Amino acid sequence: MGAGAWGTAVAKVLADGGNEVRLWARRQQVAEEINAARTNAAYLPE
């Protein structure tokens, strides 16, 4: 699933439901943030 706005929102719903989710990000910075902080602030702020 892509790490854009739509993919991040759907991934959050799935993960909150106990499912394992993988996101693919084109930008290294986005991938690093997701891996380190488990957030994607650019598309889904807290």
pTM across the whole model: 0.81
pLDDT of residue 44: 85
Rounded average pLDDT over 23-41: 94
DSSP string, the chain: -BSSHHHHHHHHHHHHTT-----B-SSHHHHHHHHHHS--TTTS--
pLDDT of residue 20: 96
Q: How far apart are CA 18 and CA 34, in angstroms?
A: 18
Rounded average pLDDT over 15-22: 96
